[in-house]
Structure 1
């Protein structure tokens, strides 16, 4: 069946429908990872977005037991060529069936290189995936311009508190849309991890007397999370060590008086170089974000840049003055992506006093 991707600038791509045949409007973003497509689809940070994979062949190892959450969160999936016959000893099914089972529409057979160039030149924009061959462009475009992602953290956070038992340090993980591997990375280091819903009060978290607090990744515009920012401000004022990733990094910055802004087309993929400003060492990182912390809005008495993106100079991490707090924009837990910066979890353990 034919399918169409319609962008808000009026560009139309024609391809083949994969997955669900429902119509969807979403923000269109691209990811440059060569592998790890299942982790991408199940990353809660993609809620409210349809993902274009820039690598031309996707799905050759099928669906494997590598999901980052209990379900996929992408609104739609866009590829150049979809493997028809996946082959891998861990394969449990095909992407086509996975998309259908989860009612996610997709489109294959389009020029994803041309699409990505449009998004890089004009910036991230909204789009529609549809199988309706009778679509009317003049009616679709106003709908695309009106679409807003809104506050999607409420959509992806857990419903109730849960615990991963461990014999080491006790970590409170605020689930803003957390990837599974964040909790796993802490648990692998023998931490007892208590996962809290996003709107848990600071008082409840601090009452449990955690050795450290982790603020997770998550989707959307950080400025949509005003109530959560207020609670994070209270956590900042405590003396508990804090490590924050991605959205958590942005929310901590906002909670302490800094600012964030939307990037032209974001950073999404497993090949982004970041420089540690203290050591000068460069790490290849996994990233997935459309917003960044504004370095120019920092109060140097509160926080200073700790990492910088080597490609475009944007902020990739902060060190907080007089506090046991550090935050990063990239994903040290990777999945998908390189594990160059997984040492940051060890730094967090040391900050908490090490596992006794």
Structure 2
């Protein structure tokens, strides 16, 4: 027997539906994602910390869940909002239903609401704070108060909350249909040593670096530049992650040191914003952000368009770019800055997700550019 659930936005809008996850309440910034597939990767992406994810595609849960598609060790989204949960999960890789998966990690979910109406509200008014309640005793007034009390993501440093507590090695490459997830590669197969900062890193990013010959030392977000330099890396990777980049002063200061030393640096998502801030640019909070797997981005150097995966609520302000940074990519949805490259250092970054998971691989050659910079540096 399904139990009732409700979603209340800070503007007072109320949606009634049915619970598909744990009981209780959960609060966060409500955002929408336009991806048709990849719901498990989305839920386990640490960049969604403190956010309630609305999926605009109507039927979510068709293929169930499995251990191989997780982008981290747990669900990081505060909750899930969908239109319809199919009765049967049908896929040869399915291990448990989406509903059971949510319950196993004590995550709230709500279905049977008008996600088109919710998405329109978020597009017109911007991302809003919200509260999901599930169970027999849903209280609209309580949920509204909780939504209004949520401080929002601006000024919130979440990278240090989701990061690994200890450094670790990563040498596993990408999943394949024929073989699944492979064993870790031998040290001899990985000629480049890269230190990867974990601000909320997705596993597929690490795998794509390994595919290109990188043996990784993944370090906590607040690791000092001195500690990283002592590891003698050939390059430094700045990962994706949640929250506002501006309060991450520890990462910004460390990146400044790497730039001064001339180390190759590659940043994705939050890492892109960290590189920009370390180079003297500024970041801004977006109205409702970019969340989806079909975002067109123009490569300004090659004059080509890529379809990319996106997940961010902050962006680098192009007007603030110093002379040492050139714009390399722009969104064709809203013209926002998507990529930068230092003209004086071997450092660059991309706002979207070239590793996809879920999404297209049009931007994957950015990983190859990082390897080119490492080869030049170590030659």
Take 2:256 and 2:149, find their aligned partners in 1: how far apart are those partners?
33
**How far has the Cα of 1:228 moved from its partner?**
2.1
1:321 to 2:343 alignment: yes
Q: Which residue does the alignment assign to 2:100?
A: 97
**How far has the Cα of 1:140 moved from its partner?**
4.2
Q: Which residue does the alignment assign to 1:47?
A: 49
Matches within 5 A, 1:209-228: 209-228=232-251
Q: Which residue does the alignment assign to 1:127?
A: 130
Q: Which residue does the alignment assign to 2:179?
A: none
1:256 to 2:279 alignment: yes
Q: Which residue does the alignment assign to 2:175?
A: none
Take 1:229 and 1:159, find their aligned partners in 2: how far apart are those partners?
19
Q: Which residue does the alignment assign to 1:160?
A: 166
| Pairwise CA RMSD | 1.4
Take 1:106 and 1:147, find their aligned partners in 2: how far apart are those partners?
19
Take 2:36 and 2:287, find their aligned partners in 1: how far apart are those partners?
22
**How far has the Cα of 1:30 moved from its partner?**
0.6
Matches within 5 A, 1:104-119: 104-119=107-122
Take 1:136 and 1:3, find their aligned partners in 2: how far apart are those partners?
10
**How far has the Cα of 1:142 moved from its partner?**
4.2
1:69 to 2:60 alignment: no
Give 2:353's match in structure 1, choosing from 311, 331, 340. Answer: 331
Take 2:267 and 2:140, find their aligned partners in 1: how far apart are those partners?
45
Give 2:375's match in structure 1, choosing from 307, 328, 353. Answer: 353
Structure 1 runs not aligned, ≥5 long: none
Take 1:239 and 1:61, find their aligned partners in 2: how far apart are those partners?
46
**How far has the Cα of 1:134 moved from its partner?**
5.4
Q: Which residue does the alignment assign to 1:343?
A: 365
State the TM-score, normalized to the length of structure 1. 0.96
Q: What is the number of equivalent residue pairs in this alignment?
A: 354
Give 1:235's match in structure 2, choosing from 254, 258, 261. Answer: 258
SS of 2:313 mapped into structure 1: strand
Deviations 1:283-315 (Å, cap 9, x if unpaired)? 000010000000001112x10111000110000
Deviations 1:202-254 (Å, cap 9, x if unpaired)? 11111211111110000011112122222222122121101100000101111
1:305 to 2:312 alignment: no
Greater alpha carbon shift after TM alignment, 142-151 vs 40-49: 142-151
**How far has the Cα of 1:198 moved from its partner?**
0.4
Structure 2 runs not aligned, ≥5 long: 172-186
Take 2:138 and 2:169, find their aligned partners in 1: how far apart are those partners?
51
Q: Which residue does the alignment assign to 2:86?
A: 83
Take 1:191 and 1:177, find their aligned partners in 2: how far apart are those partners?
19
**How far has the Cα of 1:349 moved from its partner?**
0.7
State the TM-score, normalized to the length of structure 2. 0.91
Q: Which residue does the alignment assign to 2:18?
A: 16
**How far has the Cα of 1:124 moved from its partner?**
0.1
Take 1:34 and 1:141, find their aligned partners in 2: how far apart are those partners?
30
SS of 1:341 mapped into structure 2: coil
